[in-house]
Amino acid sequence: MIKNFTQELIRSWEDRKGNVNSMAAIEEWIADANKQIKVNVEKIDFSYSGFWHYDESDGYIRNDNDSFFQIAGYQEIEDDQIIEEQPIIIQDEIGYLGIIVRMIDGTLNFLMQAKIEPGNVNTVQLSPTLQATKSNFTRRHGGKQPQYLDYFVNSTRYGLVADQLESEQSSRFYKKRNRNVILLVEEDIPVAETHRWMTLGQIKELMKQDNLVNMDTRTVLSCLPFDISEIEDAALLAKVQSDPLLGSILAKPDDKAIRAVFNVLNDHRMYRREKSRLLPVKSLKGWKMTKQEIVCRTPYDFKVIYCRIEIENREIRYWEQPMIESIGEAVFGLFAAMIDGTWHYLVQIRHEMGCFDSAELGPTVQISPKDTHRDMNDIDLLFMKRWDKKQGVRQAVLLSEEGGRFYHEQNHNVILEISPKEVGPLPTGYFWLDHATICALISHNNCVNIQLRNLIAIIDG
């Protein structure tokens, strides 16, 4: 492990040009991949009795190998009344989301992949070194072993920067988690045509482009650790201490605030009244199954479709699968405020139906396409009012969600600057937390949801 890892990490963040591949070369590589790799994703009818079928024994949709994932019905119940129901993805396995980092000619570089997922809006997106479900890397599909898998299977041979279990979209998945890993490797690594080295600064720049850096990259980068004791260069330390963002990231986490968050979070998990259950998809009274889709009878955020897929340069080239198709675009947003010289963000305890442990810490707002003004509280309404008027925008980008299961889902990731006085007194479950404290909470498994982790990852000076 590099003695002064944080020092090299910040220098890599500052390097926007790159010392291995230029930005122009990276963008050309992605453009070439988009032109050269054959991709065909076609919506087709469900058979409900083919390789992917409706299993009458439990009412789940699954494949003949009983691999990858299943789709079940899900209901939340309070006082014997159904308060919400929908199809939900069950994926009872933990996959790898991993990035290899290495010092090359004095600069920390990240090995990134140009990967195509069937649901991607724009075909190729910048992905982690390794992005593989357990079914992928155990080769349940009969295809090739994913590239660079051996590094992560044998991670103890290398410098372990981060290794955490983190949740995925709990409004779509049932208790789904992936292993987010960052490995520091000192030896030479063969670079596949699908991969390129780049600095953290280059990745941060690419994140500013709509739908270019995928969700899995963002969640892994949110796990990067920062420790001011690992900075020995006096000039860099002085720069960090004078820079509001870096100073906020490298500040000492607020232990009192962390205890307060866990107190409210654990109360929610302990005293939550709603009960939930999995059930056959056909038992969802508010949903209908047709040959083309599984769709809600009233306006909802998504429907389930079925696709035939052909993608070159994958472990397996042809397959069919169900996918979740979003209906509309959500807004995931953070209010940001400078408090006592440190950047703070307004976050909330948020329950989602498929959450591994009922609730996690989420961003200021998660406004879904079906939300109306009557579904929003005062903080939601204030955020949307300012976003509609583009007031105080620090960052805003349209980013895709997980393309392996979601078809063309993209959502607005927005950070707005505001005065805490304008927000006013906070309702129970909301907190102003500084950047370093949020990062400390991310280091706890299943504590910070993916929407907030993704917003933390895109933050840039």
Asked if residue 107 belongs to a domain, the reply is no
Q: Please tell me the distance from the alpha carbon of residue 213 to that of residue 332, in angstroms, as a whole number.
A: 16
Domain count, the chain: 1
Point out which residues pair with 312 in neighbouring strands: none
CATH code for position 341: 3.90.79.40
Answer yes or no: is pLDDT of 120 > 90: yes
Q: Please tell me the distance from the alpha carbon of residue 285 to that of residue 380, in angstroms, as a whole number.
A: 30
Asked if residue 163 belongs to a domain, the reply is no
Asked if residue 138 belongs to a domain, the reply is no
Asked if residue 270 belongs to a domain, the reply is yes
Asked if residue 197 belongs to a domain, the reply is no
Q: Is residue 261 within 8 Å of 429, Cβ to Cβ?
A: no
Report the percentage of the chain scoring pLDDT > 70.
97
Q: Give the per-residue pLDDT at 395.
A: 98
Asked if residue 258 belongs to a domain, the reply is yes
> How does pLDDT run across 11-38, given as a tens digit for each residue?
999 999 999 999 999 999 999 999 888 8
259-269 average pLDDT score: 96
> How does pLDDT run across 61-92, given as a tens digit for each residue?
999 988 889 999 999 999 889 999 999 999 98
pTM, to two decimals: 0.96
Asked if residue 334 belongs to a domain, the reply is yes
Report the candidate in 397, 395, 401, 371 with the shortest Cα–Cα distance to residue 384: 371
Amino acid type, 60: Y
Residues of the chain by 3-state class (helix, strand, coil), percent to 5 = 25, 35, 40
Domain encompassing residue 270: 249-274+328-458
Which token pair is 235? 């000039």
Which token pair is 48? 């409900």
Looking at 147-211, list the stretches that DSSP marks H as alpha helix, in order from N- to C-terminal side: 149-153, 200-206
- Of 271-280, 296-305, 324-333, 430-439, the range with the lowest mean pLDDT is 271-280
Asked if residue 355 belongs to a domain, the reply is yes
